[in-house]
Structure 1
Amino acid sequence: MSRNRIAAADIATIAVGLMVVAAGVAVIVAGPIELMPVHYGLDGQADRWGGRAEVGGLITGLGVLITLVAGGIGLAAGQTEDPSRRRGLRMAQLVALMALLGVVLFAGGASLSGATSIAGGLPMAGLSVVLLASGAFLGRVAPNPFVGVRTPWAYKSRLAWDRSNRLAGRLMFVLGLFGLAASAVAPQPAGIIALCVGLLIAVLWAAVESWRVWRTDPDRQPF
């Protein structure tokens, strides 16, 4: 990956972070004056409301988080001399950027639209797209403290890291694909709950895989 593309990735991270922060500040200053939903229960129904200062503050905080997490990974990528690790860190930066931006669009959009329920096909489709996009790149992520299957065993074995993240990426991609296809017909909130349960199973499966591969890796580091 060229230095120009590396610079472009960092510029994109900063641009997205600044735009989200600016959007949050705009909501604080000139957002809706009526209360907006800020939390939803397991049934997908809004159960707590807040003012524009709270909603804008949450969006602003997410913008700062995007800049710190994705920007930090990008900084590490720019400093490494290993081309393979640099590519892996750039993938981690991309996954972090997409996932956090997805959270902003999902949560911020629900609050600002005044949606009293997220138990619908559109929220499920949005979550599925985030899973699908993140899963497409997760398998190529290099070891880092923010993105991926970050178990103790994965940090002690590069083979365990690669295989567990590759598995997690494939499971997330398939889950997102099925979720997107089912979003138009799945009863809600059962569809979103099933998607979240599937994600939890994928995470646990990948964590177990990291332990299994570490245990059999002759090049593993001991604890």
Structure 2
Amino acid sequence: MTAPRKARSALDLATVVLSLMVGALGIWTILAGPTELLPIHYNAAGQADDWGSRELLGGGLAGLALLTLLLGGGMALAAGRTDDPARRRALRYAQLVVVLSIPLISLLIASASLSGATDISGALPVALMSLVILLIGAFLGRVGPNPFVGVRTPWAYKSRLSWERSNRLAGRLFFVIGLAGLLTAPFAPQPLGLYAIVGAIVLAAVWSGVESWRVWRTDPDRQPF
């Protein structure tokens, strides 16, 4: 009984700490960040194509921190209220995916924008992005039904089997994409390598969505629309 309680406490602590870190960075950016315009958006080639003030960037980071806290905390509360161990475990994995995605992506955005980088298609940025994708994929397949994380198609909500198989597929695809990006980042020609990662993510999302429909259609226990 002690180990699960400690695991829950560690995940909840990570949710709060990472939310506070991103939020504090956002507040610092608003109050003391660079005064010149900062790159705040990058196209598929990794080139900056939009700029904004430090207030805009800082406000965005603060919003992402709040989103992490709300989603992660909501998953934790839902997990604590259910009596079904499998449901509780699935919600905890959803919370873990939130903690691994939103704060880490926020920190990558902040590091690129605050440094004034106009090109994020280099080996290091691509490797870091690939690592985040890999981490998300490692746990995505274990996420249970919820409104925010995973392959959330109408068919997945109408069939537990559809949810499980489509999310398991998405998790494996994201893991492979992240691993391939991480291994090839040092020598892949850019921006072709970044194009490949973006294209693979889109393909994985479409494939997983189609899989959710295919499994729902053949599931004898599916719910009708």
TM-score range, shorter chain: over 0.9
* In structure 2, distance between residues paired with 1:47 and 1:200: 21
Structure 1 match to 2:189: 187
Is the aligned partner of 1:5 residue 2:7?
A: yes
Shift of residue 105 of structure 1? Answer: 1.6
Deviations 1:132-153 (A, max 9, x none): 1111111111100111111111
Partner of residue 17 from structure 1, selected from 16, 19, 26: 19
Shift of residue 122 of structure 1? Answer: 1.4
* Counterpart code for 2:91: L
Shift of residue 119 of structure 1? Answer: 1.7
Partner of residue 48 from structure 1, selected from 47, 50, 55: 50
Structure 2 match to 1:216: 218
* Counterpart code for 2:60: L
Deviations 1:126-181 (A, max 9, x none): 11101111111111111001111111111111111111111110111011111111
* In structure 1, distance between residues paired with 2:44 and 2:183: 22
Structure 2 match to 1:166: 168
Shift of residue 215 of structure 1? Answer: 0.9
Structure 1 match to 2:38: 36
* Counterpart code for 1:96: V
* In structure 1, distance between residues paired with 2:104 and 2:11: 17
Q: How does 1:81-120 map to 2 (within 5 A)?
A: 81-120=83-122
Deviations 1:89-144 (A, max 9, x none): 10010011111122112211110111011121112111110111111111111100
Partner of residue 178 from structure 1, selected from 177, 180, 183: 180
* In structure 1, distance between residues paired with 2:26 and 2:152: 30
Structure 2 match to 1:150: 152
- Unmatched 5+ stretches in structure 2: none
Contact 1:6 1:78 in 2 (8 A): no
Deviations 1:62-111 (A, max 9, x none): 11111111211111111111111101110010011111122112211110
* In structure 1, distance between residues paired with 2:34 and 2:200: 36
Shift of residue 214 of structure 1? Answer: 0.8
Contact 2:104 2:132 in 1 (8 A): yes
* Counterpart code for 2:85: P
Contact 1:43 1:189 in 2 (8 A): yes
Shift of residue 32 of structure 1? Answer: 1.5
Shift of residue 4 of structure 1? Answer: 3.3
Secondary structure class of the residue paired with 1:48 = strand
Contact 2:150 2:167 in 1 (8 A): yes
- Unmatched 5+ stretches in structure 1: none
Partner of residue 205 from structure 1, selected from 199, 204, 207: 207
Normalised by the size of structure 1, how large is the TM-score? Answer: 0.96
Shift of residue 7 of structure 1? Answer: 2.9
Structure 2 match to 1:73: 75
RMSD: 1.2
Shift of residue 13 of structure 1? Answer: 0.7
Is the aligned partner of 1:123 residue 2:125?
A: yes
Contact 2:15 2:69 in 1 (8 A): yes
Shift of residue 3 of structure 1? Answer: 2.8
